[in-house]
């Protein structure tokens, strides 16, 4: 199979840098930005060759979000890098700063709206990234979803929500959003491929949500292929997103550890997909989901 070029394609869930140390210790002083730059640059250039024009960098604050570094990489590679606002409650709240535990949803949302208005290190976040654990959702999980709802209604930004708990957690998230009158086309169910029961995809997609099969790699190829085919047969490809959840420079590992690239989709997955659906999955849907 020959790799395919998809002009103006968008990778909706990737990472340049992640630091898993925890919210209380995460800091740019824990890594050398030049070293991360050097590691990420060739990976972005490789994706650019296949037509990638934009990559949504999904690393939240307190996990290594570094908009300044993203701007440098964008200027060097020609791949637009979008950063985010929000907070990640998954991993049992290890990445929530102390203020998130005491403040109200509205107070958190005000912080995110302010980031959107004023920028983070001079860069405007282009989407909201949050994360939740298993259903039934913990009070702190519910809080970040509520905050996401308030911020989305104010800013128009789409909410991409990491979902550790599969379909039931996605449903619980959608219930909160719906109660807040957030249109579900502003919600992206991240890591849908981890849900075994395809029926949840249908429920979410028919409700208008985006079903994101990220985490595409050689290892997950079969699951992704099944999911793609299932969505195709259900007539739901127009609600599907596809990405690698790949990268990244691992803070704390020598040289950043193994930095996986962003090209599998072009080299191995899309060559099996008809051209019209390549365009739908990699250009049309990402723009509809997140704006342009």
Q: Does 216 bind Zn ion (CB under 5 A)?
A: no
CB of 15 to Zn ion, least distance (A): 6
CB of 18 to Zn ion, least distance (A): 8
Q: β-strand 249-250 against 84-85: which pairing, if any?
A: unpaired
Q: What are residue 85's phi and psi, to 5 degrees?
A: -120, 165
H or E stretch including 210? strand 210-213
Between 220 and 259, how does the x/- string for binding to Zn ion read (CB under 5 A)?
-------------------------x--------------
CB of 102 to Zn ion, least distance (A): 27
Tell me whether residue 4 or residue 69 sits nearer to Zn ion (CB atom). 69
**Distances 286 to 9, 66, 241, 291 between C-alpha atoms, Å:** 8, 22, 7, 8
CB of 262 to Zn ion, least distance (A): 12
Q: Does 17 bind Zn ion (CB under 5 A)?
A: no
As a whole number of angstroms, the distance between CA 238 and CA 8 comes to 18
Tell me whether residue 115 or residue 245 sits nearer to Zn ion (CB atom). 245
Q: Name the segment binding Zn ion (CB under 5 A); options: 53-61, 202-210, 235-243, 266-274.
A: 53-61
Tell me whether residue 19 or residue 245 sits nearer to Zn ion (CB atom). 245
Which string of DSSP letters, residue by residue, matches 23-89? TTT--GGGS-HHHHHHHHHHHHHHHHHTTEEEEEE-PPTTTT--HHHHHHHHHHHS-EEE-EE--B-
Q: Does 144 bind Zn ion (CB under 5 A)?
A: no
Q: Name the segment binding Zn ion (CB under 5 A); options: 43-51, 56-64, 129-137, 277-285.
A: 56-64
Number of other CB atoms surrounding residue 273 within 10 Å? 21
As a whole number of angstroms, the distance between CA 192 and CA 197 comes to 10
Q: Does 58 bind Zn ion (CB under 5 A)?
A: yes
Q: Which residues bind Zn ion (CB under 5 A)?
A: 58, 245
């Amino acid at each position: 199979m020959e790799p395919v070029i998809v002009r103006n394609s968008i990778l909706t869930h990737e990472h340049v840098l992640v630091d898993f140390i925890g919210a209380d210790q995460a800091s740019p002083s824990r890594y050398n930005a030049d070293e991360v730059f050097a590691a990420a640059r060739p990976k972005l250039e490789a994706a650019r060759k296949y037509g990638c024009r934009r990559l949504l960098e999904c690393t939240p604050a307190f996990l290594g979000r570094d908009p300044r570094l993203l701007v440098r990489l964008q200027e060097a590679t020609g791949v637009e890098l979008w950063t985010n606002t929000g907070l990640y409650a998954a991993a049992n709240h290890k990445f929530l700063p102390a203020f998130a535990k005491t403040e109200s949803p509205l107070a958190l949302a005000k912080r995110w709206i302010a980031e959107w208005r004023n920028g983070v290190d001079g860069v405007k976040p282009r989407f909201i990234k949050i994360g939740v654990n298993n259903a039934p959702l913990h009070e702190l999980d519910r809080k970040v979803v509520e905050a996401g709802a308030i911020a989305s209604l104010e800013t128009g930004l789409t909410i991409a929500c990491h979902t550790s708990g599969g379909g039931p957690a996605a449903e619980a998230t959608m219930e909160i959003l719906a109660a807040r009158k957030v249109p579900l086309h502003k919600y992206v169910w991240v890591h849908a491929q981890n849900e075994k029961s395809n029926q949840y995809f249908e429920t979410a997609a028919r409700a208008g949500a985006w079903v994101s099969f990220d985490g595409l790699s050689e290892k997950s190829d079969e699951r992704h292929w099944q999911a793609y085919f299932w969505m195709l047969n259900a007539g739901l490809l127009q609600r599907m997103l596809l990405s690698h959840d790949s990268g990244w420079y691992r803070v704390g590992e020598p040289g950043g550890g193994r930095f996986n690239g962003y090209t599998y989709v072009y080299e191995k997955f899309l060559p099996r997909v008809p051209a019209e659906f390549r365009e739908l999955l990699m250009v049309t849907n990402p723009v509809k989901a997140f704006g342009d």
